[in-house]
Amino acid sequence: MNYSQQTINELKRKAIQVRSNILEMIPPGKVGHLGGSSSIADVMAALYFHTMKVNGSDPKNPLRDRLIMSKGHAVLVQYACLVELGYFPREELSKVKTFNGMLQGHPDMDRTPGIEAVTGSLGQGLSVSLGLALGLRLDHSSSRVYTILGDGELAEGQVWEAVMAAPDFKVNNLTAIVDWNGVQATSTTKEIFPIENLEEKWKAFGWNVLVIDGHDMVQILDALDRAKTYTEGPSVILAHTVKGKCFPFAEGKAKYHNASMTEEEYQTAWSCIEKMKREVEA
């Protein structure tokens, strides 16, 4: 499909803003999941600011699309999007993971507007999404369900229970997205628990599989649109990404899965944001 340069640039700006919100949440001394939040930031920007029907001032609108963060530890990127849409005040960002804040360490639907389910114990989000998709279908709703999975998370057996089940129920209102960054908590997925032939695996279970560069906005929008128009069953977008994307000191490194940045790294990160802004405007 064709997207105007204006749309693409606007979404690129949003993705930069999302990454800068992530930085705002985890200044030096505060531990947070930088790596897995920034790897999926471009996809999340496309979802929240283009593809999904959502409204920050009406979080419970029954007609909304739903996003379930199955890799709940990367919820910083979701907060970074939700705040832009006005789901909660900006001051909450600095209070993330504090006793009085609205933003918990993992997604908590009771505390945070815009969070659709409780996730964090890995491997459950796709199943929850399947249930939501089935429920919405019973109501003849046009709402869609999006699920973000980590590639390390795919080691959880329950993911594959859901992968097997969803095509059986022919849910075409469900899109799964795998943040295929190749790095998990302590090392690469190749070293920890390699899952080969990912594309073939999802295909064999009956999914419509779309493989993309998860940092290319055109490819992201195109895949999301293709998933939307596919009517035979569920779609999965396998998004090749880089853990810690846009922050060179963190890119591809397990160390920044959940870490705090040094003062120097933090400054570097902000200069990366500034550089990206200049590039988009040029």
Partner 1 sequence: MRTSDSLRKTYGETLVELGKDNKDIVMLEADLGNSTMSSLFGNAYPERYFQMGIAEQNMASVAAGLALAGKVPFINSFAVFATGRAYDQIRSSVAIANLNVKICGSSAGLSDYGDGKTHQSIDDIALMQVLPHMTVLSPCDAVESEMMTKAMVNEKGPMYLRINRNDLKIVTDPQAEYHIGKMTEMVQGNDVVVFATGIMVQQSMEAAKLLEKENISVRVVNVSTIKPLDVEALQMYCEGVKAVVTAEEHSVIGGLGSAICSALSQKRLPIGIVGIEDTFGTSAENYSILLKHFGLEAEDVAKKVRSVLSVR
Q: Are 97 and 104 in contact (CB under 8 A)?
A: yes
Q: Which uninterrupted H or E stretch holds 146?
A: strand 145-150
140 is a contact residue toward partner 1 (CB under 8 A): no
Among 7, 55, 158, 258, binds partner 1 (CB under 8 A): 158
* Closest to 113 (Cα-Cα) out of 122, 123, 104: 104
CB of 102 to partner 1, least distance (A): 16
Q: Are 157 and 127 in contact (CB under 8 A)?
A: no
Cβ proximity to partner 1: between 139 and 281 the closer is 139
* Count of residues engaged in binding partner 1, rule: CB under 8 A: 31
Residues 89-108 that bind partner 1 (CB under 8 A): 108
138 is a contact residue toward partner 1 (CB under 8 A): yes
**Which tokens belong to 126?**
């796709």
Grouping H, G, I as helix, E, B as strand and the rest as coil, residue 32 is strand
Query: Cα(149)–Cα(40) distance, rounded to whole angstroms?
Result: 10
Q: Which uninterrupted H or E stretch holds 209?
A: strand 208-213
Among 5, 157, 229, 278, binds partner 1 (CB under 8 A): 157
110 is a contact residue toward partner 1 (CB under 8 A): yes
Query: Cα(82)–Cα(43) distance, rounded to whole angstroms?
Result: 14
Cβ proximity to partner 1: between 147 and 235 the closer is 147
Cβ proximity to partner 1: between 111 and 203 the closer is 111
Cβ proximity to partner 1: between 33 and 64 the closer is 64
Query: Cα(85)–Cα(225) distance, rounded to whole angstroms?
Result: 21
155 is a contact residue toward partner 1 (CB under 8 A): no
Cβ proximity to partner 1: between 168 and 274 the closer is 168
List residues binding partner 1 (CB under 8 A).
Answer: 66, 108-110, 116-121, 124-125, 127-136, 138-139, 157-158, 161-162, 164-165, 169
